[in-house]
Amino acid sequence: MTISSIMTTALSGMQTQQNRLMEAAGNISSVGPGAATETDAEISLASEMLDVMSAEVGFAANAMVFETGADLWDVLMSIKRD
């Protein structure tokens, strides 16, 4: 696997996590009116907040991979120049 393909995969992962976050945010904004009971609303809200936290961790992990790939490119470019 090349550095470029690793960075592309990480970028795709970040986009996926961003989509998860946007979906969860939309679900959170509509929790109250559609819930049958207050308990159902609380459970739904807790589930969506868990999804938000999971998306945050996934995004951060992919961002770290992307940054590492960029650092490796910098190292390779500095070696090539010398």
Q: What is the pTM of this model?
A: 0.83
Owning domain of residue 8: 3-81
Residue 82 in this model has a pLDDT that exceeds 80: no
As for how many domains the chain has, the answer is 1
Are 10 and 65 contacting, i.e. CB atoms less than 8 angstroms apart? yes
The 10s digit of each residue's pLDDT in 31-57 is 876 667 888 888 889 999 999 999 999
